[in-house]
Amino acid sequence: MKIDVNQLAEHFAHIPFQVEGIYRYATNPGVTHADYTDSFPGFVFPLTGKIQFQFNGTPYTLSPGKMVHGGAKMKLDEQTLDNCNWEYILVLYRICSSEVEESSFSHQHFELSTGQSPRLMELIMQLWHVYNQRGGLSMFQTEMLFRNVLNEALISVANRQMSSESQALFERVSNYIHKYYYHGLNISALAEQYNVNRNRLSYIFRKHAGMGPAEYLLKHRLNMAQTMLFTSDVPVQQIAQTVGIADPFYFSKVFKKEFGFSPTEYRRKFINNPC
């Protein structure tokens, strides 16, 4: 199931919980496994290898860069893939309240894609070592570290989701620009059309194209004009209008700034000397 990371963070911000146990497992192909999950919900953090878990019949293929959550007493099946060893850390936690609804995240199984995060792996290993030291200070540090692990994991997931969403939005808007560049496009209208803040749209274009959306649109128009100058004898003023620039003087100015020649000079210099 697809998880809203903000809702998941809100869930853990409001429920009282504490670490029940932390275990490190190394399994080999063919080794038997439990038929059910533990009596407490928990997170599996892969360290090495590749495995497929099934919680109540739903499969999850896990490897480093992913983590999975399973509810208590779920039907469990697992299969090591690629004939390789599989090592992971399991963190079980106890919900310190009887009022948590059965439909809450703690009673569900789901996967989170964190990506390869050295910081997250460092915290997980630190959590494992601190838990095994025992004693009052260790218990206190364990609780704090587990929350730090969850925080880092949720941040990693959120960043990946935002990156994926921004890439998809950039592709949609840039494809629209490529298709309708000759229309009277403006950035405010594009932002409104795609239901995004103008500043956000500007950030996404600078991230994926190295320039703002207005500059991206202008460059595409100029590139199309360059092609028309090179391949046709259409008047410069008409070319400007065709690519969506109404002012021919502005067109000549920005064209020269981009290519080093005015449109007329460019045509004269290159149309008969393409090399």
User: For the chain (length 275 residues), average pLDDT per consecutive 10?
Assistant: 85 92 77 76 92 89 92 85 79 86 83 92 95 90 96 92 88 94 91 92 92 95 93 92 94 94 88 55
Burial class (CB in 10 A: 0-12, 13-18, 19+), 204: buried
Evaluate whether the domain defined by 5-159 bears CATH number 3.40.50.970: no
Alpha-carbon separation of residue 74 from 31, 52, 147, 198, 259 (angstroms)? 20, 15, 24, 46, 65
**Nearest-angstrom CA–CA distance, 123 and 145:** 7
**Nearest-angstrom CA–CA distance, 190 and 11:** 35
Evaluate whether the domain defined by 181-275 bears CATH number 1.10.10.60: yes
Side chain identity, residue 54: Q
Residue 135 pLDDT: 87
pTM for the model: 0.68
Residue 77 pLDDT: 85
**Nearest-angstrom CA–CA distance, 222 and 261:** 12
Of 242, 231, 230, 239, which is closest to residue 266 (Cα–Cα)?
230
Residue 275 pLDDT: 46
Residue 183 pLDDT: 92
Would you kindly state where each structural domain of the chain is located, as residue ranges? Answer: 5-159, 181-275
**Nearest-angstrom CA–CA distance, 53 and 39:** 17
Would you call 241 helix, strand, or coil by DSSP? Answer: helix
Residue 191 pLDDT: 92
